[in-house]
């Protein structure tokens, strides 16, 4: 009997410990500030995996984004829909926004919340090919995006019509308006306030119902790893553009001044990083070819006497190509004018200055070795008829001359024969 009572106490203690442990589980927190890109999608997926392994109460995403790539947004949404723990998306702090792709991510969350002074919406899709979509294609894209937003809103029990309007009409609302319209679940001034407000809310995670126990939960902040910070940095269109131009110029400098090594290494690394970024950024290849054509014009300027016309053509080609390369004004997917003008000026200085100097150095007369002796001027120290001594380069050389040369006369080297130089009188034939 005593053993049965002891066993019962152990079982009850175990159950109580498990219950307490579940109630006091951490809430994992991450911060997404900036465009939605592949590195950001990978960061969120990794964070969900860590939260799931730790059996956290929820993953809290502090969101402030102008939007981003549709492919990355859909990866994030799929990760949220298949998440092992509830996902709380909180547009925070005041002044933040969940625009475009951010609005869809907010709708997809198990719990959607906003801080006062924030806004959500403007989810109309944009063309990512550098050109304007035709009417039929534009209709298809908008209809697809609408259906996607409506299905997510219906899944989470949110305002389906508003989700469609956010895509179709680019409507945007404040936090209070979003709460009244049934777009979000709560408006909270701080993380602690939010966790207290959503405590006890039942959400559907996979095929099971989960009651959130977030009030007073400990916050475990997951900082974004350096890898994802670095990849997100180079995925910025301005950074990728500058990396590409640095790569082009560094490789060309190595070609015109072989043996420097460092420019080749720098150029190779820069181009690889730029190509990685361009895999994540939709670019216009006509713009890329114009930039390459501009570089070719600069190279030709060093070979052809165009009186600067090729340099002007190079600058114009690079500027136009840069404008066309990633051209989506009003979105994060655009190259700033400051970056374009900086590259244009540096291009002109680089090719007319640095590379011309390198070419001149290659074409200049050799100044070392036997070849460097030819054409040098010295002084005959003895009579040279046909043999004698000549002072050249601070050294006394054995000299030979077909025409007699008197001591003290200036001589010019015409050939080097072993340890002897062949000379002639300066000004003579």
What confidence score (pLDDT) does residue 24 get? 39
Please compute the mean of the pLDDT values over residues 320-338 and round it to a whole number.
Answer: 75
Spot the catalytic one: 14, 19, 138, 140: 140
Mean of the per-residue pLDDT values for the chain? 84
For 144-175, how does the pLDDT look when each residue is reduced to its tens digit (9 = 90+)?
999 999 999 999 999 999 999 999 999 999 99
For 195-229, how does the pLDDT look when each residue is reduced to its tens digit (9 = 90+)?
999 999 999 998 889 999 999 899 999 999 999 99
Q: How far is CA 387 from CA 40, 409, 414, 415, in A?
A: 81, 14, 15, 14
Question: What sign results for the dihedral spanned by CA atoms 55, 57, 62, 67?
Answer: positive
What confidence score (pLDDT) does residue 32 get? 96
Instruction: Give the C-alpha separation, 164 to 206, whole Å.
Output: 25
Spot the catalytic one: 100, 172, 270, 401: 100
Residue 112 has pLDDT above 80, yes or no: yes
365 is catalytic: no
What backbone torsions phi and psi does residue 288 show, to the nearest 5 degrees? -65, -45
Percent of the chain with pLDDT over 90: 49
Q: Are strands 27-33 and 58-64 parallel, antiparallel or unpaired?
A: parallel
Percent of the chain with pLDDT over 70: 84
Q: Check residues 120 and 311 and name the one with the higher pLDDT.
A: 120
- Maximum alpha-carbon separation in the chain: 133
100 is catalytic: yes
Q: Which residues have C-beta within 8 Å of that of residue 127, sequence separation ≥ 6?
A: 133, 138, 328
For 122-139, how does the pLDDT look when each residue is reduced to its tens digit (9 = 90+)?
888 765 444 555 677 778
Burial (CB < 10 A; 0-12, 13-18, 19+), residue 365, is exposed
Lowest mean pLDDT among 91-95, 256-260, 339-343, 373-377: 256-260
Burial (CB < 10 A; 0-12, 13-18, 19+), residue 405, is buried
Burial (CB < 10 A; 0-12, 13-18, 19+), residue 217, is buried
- Flag whether the pTM goes above 0.85: no
Q: Check residues 47 and 357 and name the one with the higher pLDDT.
A: 47
Q: Which residues have C-beta within 8 Å of that of residue 305, sequence separation ≥ 6?
A: none
For 249-271, how does the pLDDT look when each residue is reduced to its tens digit (9 = 90+)?
888 778 777 777 888 899 999 99
210's enclosing H/E stretch is strand 208-211
Q: Which residues have C-beta within 8 Å of that of residue 289, sequence separation ≥ 6?
A: 321
Give 403-409 contacts, CB < 8 A, sequence gap 24+. 403/428, 405/380, 406/380, 407/380, 407/381, 407/382, 407/383, 408/379, 408/380, 409/379, 409/380
| Confidence label for 22 from pLDDT (cuts 50, 70 and 90) | very low
**Contact present, 217 and 208 (Cβ < 8 Å):** no
**Contact present, 125 and 145 (Cβ < 8 Å):** yes
Please compute the mean of the pLDDT values over residues 366-387 and round it to a whole number.
Answer: 79
Q: What domains can be seen in the chain, in order of their start residue? A: 13-227 (3.90.226.10), 236-363 (no CATH), 369-425 (2.40.50.140)
């Amino acid at each position: 009997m005593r053993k049965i009572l002891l066993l019962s106490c152990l079982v009850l203690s175990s159950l109580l410990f498990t219950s307490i442990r579940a109630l006091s589980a951490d809430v994992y927190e991450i911060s997404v500030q900036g465009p939605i890109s592949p590195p950001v999608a990978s960061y969120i997926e990794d964070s969900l995996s860590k939260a799931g392994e730790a059996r956290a109460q929820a993953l809290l995403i502090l969101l402030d984004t102008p939007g981003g790539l549709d492919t990355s947004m859909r990866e994030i949404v799929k990760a949220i829909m298949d998440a092992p723990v509830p996902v709380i998306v909180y547009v925070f702090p005041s002044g933040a926004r969940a625009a475009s792709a951010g609005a869809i991510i907010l709708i997809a969350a198990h719990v959607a919340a906003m801080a006062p002074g924030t806004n959500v919406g403007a989810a109309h899709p944009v063309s990512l090919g550098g050109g304007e979509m035709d009417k039929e294609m534009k209709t298809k894209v908008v209809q697809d995006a609408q259906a996607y937003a409506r299905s997510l809103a219906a899944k989470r029990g949110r305002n389906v019509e508003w989700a469609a309007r956010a895509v179709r009409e680019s409507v945007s609302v404040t936090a209070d308006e979003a709460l009244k319209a049934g777009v979000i679940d709560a408006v909270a001034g701080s993380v602690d306030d939010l966790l207290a407000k959503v405590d006890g809310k039942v959400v559907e995670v996979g095929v099971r119902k989960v009651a959130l126990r977030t009030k007073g939960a400990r916050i475990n902040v997951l900082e974004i790893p350096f890898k994802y910070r670095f990849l997100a940095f180079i995925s910025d269109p301005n950074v990728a553009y500058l990396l590409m131009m640095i790569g082009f110029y560094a490789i060309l400098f190595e070609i015109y001044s072989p043996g420097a090594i460092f420019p080749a290494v720098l150029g190779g690394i820069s181009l690889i990083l730029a190509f990685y970024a361009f895999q994540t950024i939709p670019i216009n290849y006509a713009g890329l070819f114009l930039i390459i054509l501009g570089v070719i014009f600069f190279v030709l300027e060093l070979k052809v006497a165009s009186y600067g016309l090729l340099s002007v053509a190079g600058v114009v080609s690079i500027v136009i190509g840069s404008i066309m390369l990633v051209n989506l004004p009003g979105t994060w997917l655009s190259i700033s004018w400051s970056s374009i003008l900086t590259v244009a000026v540096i291009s002109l200085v680089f090719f007319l200055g640095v590379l011309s100097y390198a070419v001149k150095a290659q074409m200049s007369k050799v100044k070392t070795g036997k070849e460097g002796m030819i054409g040098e001027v010295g002084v005959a120290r003895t009579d040279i008829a046909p043999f004698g001594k000549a002072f050249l380069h601070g050294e006394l050389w054995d000299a030979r001359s077909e025409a007699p040369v008197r001591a003290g006369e200036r001589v010019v080297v015409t050939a080097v024969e072993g340890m002897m130089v062949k000379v002639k009188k300066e000004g003579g034939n």
